[in-house]
Amino acid sequence: MKQILLIDREFGAGGSTIGEKLAERLNWKLFDQALTEEIARRTKMPIPDCQRREGRVDPWLHRLVNIIWRGSIGSALPSPDLAVLDTDCLVREVQKVVEQAAEARPCVIVGRGASHFLRDRKDTFSVFLYAPRELKYRRVLKRVGNEKEAVELVDSMDDERRKFVKHYFNHEWPNRQLFHAMLNTCMGDDNTIEAILQLLNAVNCDGKAGKA
């Protein structure tokens, strides 16, 4: 039985919105912003700084990228005092938080490398969402309200995610082997949600039939 729905996505493809609506439709617990809050609590880092470090290169440690699962739209850098928490430590904390969230199944988990961290579990259903650049740009522009910033985010965030995954997990992003489905959200949020629900239901029904 698949009781953990994992949503990974390109930046601006609508993963957070779609994940929230899916959790509402399924009446499952949602882990998205709550994961950032828990990571911040564990690392004693202010939530805004945690969000920024989830989406930005670490300038003090000269590492490839920082935690980028959420793709924060914040532009300011955290205080240099936070440099004591290096990226490796932060990754370990993210893994612990994701694994803890999975124990609260049934649930929907958005981003944070959950498709990798939970890859050996049999109760997950993993979906990757992507979209045309123009659609991603419009989504991001609506959030940030600045055309230049929206373009920079759309053109840079996925590249940072790709470098991060290659560095820490040694595979290309997105790793197609980790996903049950990859969907283009240009079909609209509602149609994307319906497609995911139908696929999830089909997999769970097949699983029940196999046990009969």
- pLDDT tens-digit series, residues 5-31: 999 999 999 999 999 999 999 999 999
The domain of 31 spans 4-199
Number of H helices, E strands in the chain: 8, 5
Number of domains in the chain: 1
Predicted local distance difference test score (pLDDT) of residue 184: 98
Mean pLDDT of the 147-171 span: 87
Spatial neighbors of 143 by CB under 8 A, at least 6 apart, are 73
Predicted local distance difference test score (pLDDT) of residue 210: 59
At 147, which amino acid appears? E
Mean pLDDT of the 29-57 span: 69
In a domain, 205, yes or no: no
Strand pairing category for 4-9 and 29-31? unpaired
CATH number at residue 165: 3.40.50.300
